Amino acid sequence: MGRSILSSQHSTQQSTRATVTVFAESGSWIESDAVDQCHQVAALDGMIHVAGMPDLHPGKGAPIGAAMLSSVLYPLLVGSDIGCGIAVFPIRLKRVVPERLAGRFPDLDEPVDPADLPGTDIPAGYTDQLGTVGRGNHFVELARVDEVLDGGHAERLGLTAGDTVLIVHSGSRGLGERILRSHTEVHGAGPAADPAAYLAAHDEAVRWGHLNRRIMAERVADALGAELGEPVTDVCHNSAEVRGGHYLHRKGAAPGDGTDVLIAGTRGTRSFLVAGHAGAGAGHSVAHGAGRKMSRSDALRRGRAKHTVEELRRTAVGSIVVCGDRQLLFEEAPGAYKRIEQVIGDLVAHRLATPVVSTVPLVTYKTADLAPRKGGRR
């Protein structure tokens, strides 16, 4: 049986072990398995501090929603989707009718032809998935700025209530996976034998991720006949950086020190753009999303009993979810995630971030909508 978090910010310190701090209020439920994973990470050689974000949940090997500072570089603590992040682009549309716009989204499972990207500096050796969104929690969402919560900051970003924005959550696809696998095949969960070489490959995946998010935004803007602005934020939440002579690993945690970050809600609830001002105790980081409340398999099993496909495709806030994959629709159901307001509230309570604006989904693209098959289910 795992422990539960009883204090609002509980830390443990042993002479040879790293500190673990979880930034969640006592009312916020955090799965004990995820806290156990933080302590397992804290026991690794060289580990100095583990900061759990309020969206902390169990991951494969390492917790998701954590910043981990160590004197040793562990590729597994960044995971396979190196450079995954969230960008927000202002986008100007003539008419905003979700039903019509949903049908005009491009197929973001189909890569772009690099020949169609003249003058683009494409990281070497990996072009076959450029412009694709991937699966899992990735999405491309047309959203409306809902509430302005910090007027001065929103104005500096050029955001006003009622504006439309395009939120792109995606990563480095097969490239990051390949980089991690080439490490684990030789060293397993152990440290990087050649940190500089890992970081060079990592940086390429980060660049690829940024480029991929921009390409997708341009594809969507083209298909919708919309004008796309420069991103107001584009921040990775799976990364490693050298900091004060140590390695700061982030897995499902965004840089949160002087950074504006879009913290994603769910496909059917709001998201929040926040100004991060997290210190060393929080690993200079903020949360990256609502955080899973249920495993994918639980969400699938319980979702099938609780929801119809129709209500997941047309959400409570009136948005449309483009997703031809029924299983993914259930796995990503809003109910499979924590309440984003709780996550944001925890960040505010611990003075890690200040909300700037909230956004409400209009159309969320997950994966191509399948054409109905005659006589069959889809």
Active site residues: 288
Smallest separation, CB 57 to DNA (Å) = 10
- Binding segment (CB under 7 A) for DNA, from list 14-22, 169-177, 271-279, 354-362: 169-177
Sheet strands (E) in 150-284: 164-170, 227-228, 233-236, 238-243, 246-251, 253-255, 257-263, 271-277
315 binds DNA (CB under 7 A): no
Smallest separation, CB 112 to DNA (Å) = 15
Residue 42 tokens, joined: 């804290």
Choose between 255 and 291: whose C-beta lies nearer to DNA: 291
> Using CB under 7 A, which residues numbered 242 to 301 contact DNA?
none
Residue 105 tokens, joined: 């989204």
Residue 18 tokens, joined: 């790293």
Smallest separation, CB 132 to DNA (Å) = 8
- Which one of 131, 171, 231, 334 is in contact with DNA (CB under 7 A)? 171
Choose between 123 and 171: whose C-beta lies nearer to DNA: 171
> Using CB under 7 A, which residues numbered 77 to 96 contact DNA?
80-81, 84
Give residue for tokens 């480095």. 172
Calculate the CA dihedral of residues 305, 307, 309, 312 and round it to 10 degrees: -150
359 binds DNA (CB under 7 A): no
Cα separation, 194 vs 105, whole angstroms: 43
> Using CB under 7 A, which residues numbered 18 to 77 contact DNA?
60
Cα separation, 269 vs 290, whole angstroms: 10
Choose between 57 and 270: whose C-beta lies nearer to DNA: 57
Residue 299 tokens, joined: 């969400």
Choose between 60 and 95: whose C-beta lies nearer to DNA: 60
CA 239 to each of CA 11, 249, 308, 337, 376: distance values in angstroms, whole numbers, following the listed order: 24, 6, 37, 23, 43
177 binds DNA (CB under 7 A): yes
Number of residues that bind DNA (CB under 7 A): 16
- Binding segment (CB under 7 A) for DNA, from list 17-25, 167-175, 349-357, 370-378: 167-175
- Which one of 49, 144, 173, 183 is in contact with DNA (CB under 7 A)? 173
Choose between 84 and 165: whose C-beta lies nearer to DNA: 84
CA 107 to each of CA 93, 102, 187, 220, 330: distance values in angstroms, whole numbers, following the listed order: 19, 11, 38, 9, 21
Cα separation, 218 vs 221, whole angstroms: 5
HSE-up of residue 307 (Cα within 13 Å, Cβ side): 23
Name residues whose C-beta falls within 8 Å of residue 16's C-beta, 6 or more positions apart in sequence.
none
Smallest separation, CB 178 to DNA (Å) = 7
Amino acid at 324: G
Choose between 32 and 129: whose C-beta lies nearer to DNA: 129
- Which one of 174, 190, 229, 345 is in contact with DNA (CB under 7 A)? 174
Choose between 90 and 291: whose C-beta lies nearer to DNA: 291
Smallest separation, CB 137 to DNA (Å) = 4
- Helix (H) or strand (E) run with residue 120 in it: none
Smallest separation, CB 343 to DNA (Å) = 15
262 and 114 Cβ atoms separated by less than 8 Å: no
> Using CB under 7 A, which residues numbered 193 to 232 contact DNA?
none
Smallest separation, CB 329 to DNA (Å) = 14
Read off φ and ψ for residue 220, nearest 5 degrees: -65, -45
The DSSP code for 78 is: T
- Strands 164-170 and 85-92 come out as antiparallel
Residue window 127-156: x/- pattern of binding to DNA, with contact defined by CB under 7 A: --x----xxxxx------------------
- Point out which residues bind DNA (CB under 7 A): 60, 80-81, 84, 129, 134-138, 170-171, 173-174, 176-177
